Amino acid sequence: MPSVPRPSPPPGPSAGADGPRLAWGAAAIVLLSFAVLPALPGPLVLDDGPALDLARQIAGPAGWMEAWRPGADPGETLRGRPLAAWSFGLQAAVDLASPVALRLVNALLHAGAAAVLAGLVRRTLVRLHWAPAAAGRTAALAALIWLVHPLALSAVVYVVQRAEVLAGLGMLAALAAFARGMESSRPGPWLVASAAAGWAALLAKESAAGLPLLVALYDRCFVVDSWRAVWRARRGYYLALAAGWLPLAALVAAGAGRGGTAGWDSPIGVGAYLLTQGEAVAGYLWHVLWPHPLVFDHGPVVASLPGALVPGGLVLALLAASVWGVWRGHPLGFAGGAFFLSLAPSSSLVPVASQTIADHRMYLALAAPVAVLVAWACRRAPLGGGLAAGAAALVLTGVSAARHGSYRDEVTLWAKTAARRPDNPRAHHNLGQAIFARGDPAAAEPHFRAAERLRPGDPDTRHNLALCALRLGRAEEARALLEANLARAPDHAPTPLALGEVRGELGRQALAAGRRMEAREHFAAAAALRPRDPRPRHNLGNLLLEQDAVEAALAAWREALVADPGFGESRRALALVLLRTGRAAEAVPHLERLARDEPGRADVRAALTEARQAAGR
């Protein structure tokens, strides 16, 4: 069985090596800065907001142990991933939690991971008997391309995917420490560092679950000549590394499928999900070479059997070749094995309903094909291959910068997502929300209707359709939508509040048309649906006063002030009616507060003087 002989440790860097290293480092910083700059001030999207909320809880009274508590809310992406959650909590604690600051930290972590990757590739190439200088140049080019590739940066600019970046950094550090230990006369400290980095990766995200197997692949393909030797030589190390699966398993089990969006109980079956991963992985591989167009959110794509045959067959062939190469101890077997192991937690049998395809999952998996392609090019033509790799890095930097221009605002981001994935209901829904927030319900409504067509009965979409109808003057239509929503999803929190707003609008319309009894019914219903909103109670009080129900009007205004003590309109109405009905002593405290809150109002001061005189003060 062919094997890779274990070489002597590669020579250390020469005294003159600092100059080239500084040049490579400066180039990497410039290119990375240019690639991510357009995305830095972009808004937080999808799970970013809930992640930041959790970070503030961790930095506040909840404390740092809050990161260990898994959550059922699928939006809380950081729950049950303590290392990633702590990193966000630390930024929140020092008040550096703006989108720019969060993405800058992601970029710094990514740059560190690229530096570790460069060292790992260099050591590996030297093991394959490359000259150290050539190995260093090739490794630097491979790391530079990975650093600026749009697929890798998908996990950097989508803030909450720092979990993916941390997991990738931990896995690379574990591999690099292992490789360094295999060159040392005292490997023990390096193996301890490798196991610690592996544990950190597992506590950052479940995508690191394949790390113990990944290190074993490296051991077999580059260090020893048989699988038996892998176990015999370092079984204690592998047991320590695999022990990290225990806390990971506990966190995954406690997470209960991340709110039903992942796991065996997902609404997407195992078979359908597995079929879709053929299209997903084949697409990832194509985007290694041609990263356009990339999509921020593919949505719940599910492939059909005929459409999955060709890409699925290609992926299975590559998987079979990788397994054969690993068994034979071939370096390309390790590259293939590393690619599939990095993707296995999210692109295999375990369904993830919210995103069957996601570009950020390629964060670490991208390193293997990039390193193989750059090494092949530099080996075949050292000068030409190096120039081609450098040119590729420049082109990819430009592609990344152009793509990240989409992050300047939510409308642009979701418009491009919906254009590239028109069957994604979440893209249409979020685009509608972004347009609605700009004050254009007429333009938002078609996107909500598209989302409703693709995902019928979704309570959030129906809620937003009702708000569009209300803003466009179709209050009865809004009422029908919200009442139907309340009947179908009684626990959907925004629906009663929105329905209360609609009933209040219907009350105002009925009052303007002279239908006072109908208006009274709407105002009473709105008050019940919106307990913290003083306006329905205030309007009800005004209507009751018109109907000479003075005591009922006073009661309604008092309820409005319970809902919001600072609501001056109800306090003014209450005080004036009390004054006019001979209860000046009761009116005085209300008028005194109004005088403090609104010192410029002469009518309030005059009424206060009158009330004090009438009360004998």
DSSP string for residues in 104-139 = HHHHHHHHHHHHHHHHHHHHHHHHTT--HHHHHHHH
pLDDT digits 0-9 by tens, 61-89: 777 787 777 665 545 678 888 899 999 99
**DSSP-derived 3-state class of residue 352:** strand
Q: Is the pLDDT of residue 27 over 70?
A: yes
User: For 245-254, 323-332, 392-401, which range has the lowest pLDDT when averaged over its residues?
Assistant: 245-254
Arithmetic mean of pLDDT, 124-134: 93
Cis amide prior to 150 (ω within 30 degrees): no
Task: Give the distance, in angstroms, between the CA of residue 209 and the centroid of all CA atoms in the same chain.
Answer: 20
Q: Is it the case that residue 263 has pLDDT exceeding 60?
A: no
Domain ranges of the chain: 28-260+285-379+390-405, 409-456
pLDDT for 512: 75
What is the percent of the chain with per-residue pLDDT over 70, rounded to a whole number?
92
Instruction: Please provide the size of the chain in residues.
Output: 617
What was the pLDDT predicted at 16? 47
pLDDT of residue 530: 79
What pLDDT was estimated at residue 14?
45
The pLDDT value recorded for residue 360 is: 92
Name which residue leads in pLDDT, 143 or 494. Answer: 143
Q: Nearest-CA neighbor of 405 among 38, 103, 37? A: 38
* Residue 210 clears pLDDT 50, i.e. is over it: yes
> How far is the C-alpha of 296 from the C-alpha of 147, rounded, in Å?
19
pLDDT of residue 495: 67
pLDDT digit string (tens) for 567-606? 888 888 888 888 888 888 888 888 888 888 888 788 878 8
Evaluate whether 173 touches 382 at the Cβ level (below 8 Å).
no
Return the pLDDT at 258.
61
pLDDT of 26 > 60? The answer is yes
Are the beta carbons of 83 and 244 closer than 8 angstroms? no
Work out the mean pLDDT of the chain and round it to a whole number. 86
Q: What is the pLDDT of residue 446?
A: 96
Residue range 355-403, pLDDT digits in tens: 788 899 999 999 999 999 999 999 999 899 999 999 999 999 999 999 9
- Is pLDDT at 332 greater than 70 in this prediction? yes
531 vs 536: CA distance, rounded Å: 9
Listed ranges 4-18, 341-355, 381-395; the one with the highest mean pLDDT: 381-395
Give the pLDDT confidence of 86-108 residue by residue, as tens digits: 999 999 999 888 999 999 999 99
Q: What are phi and psi of 344, to 5 degrees?
A: -55, -45
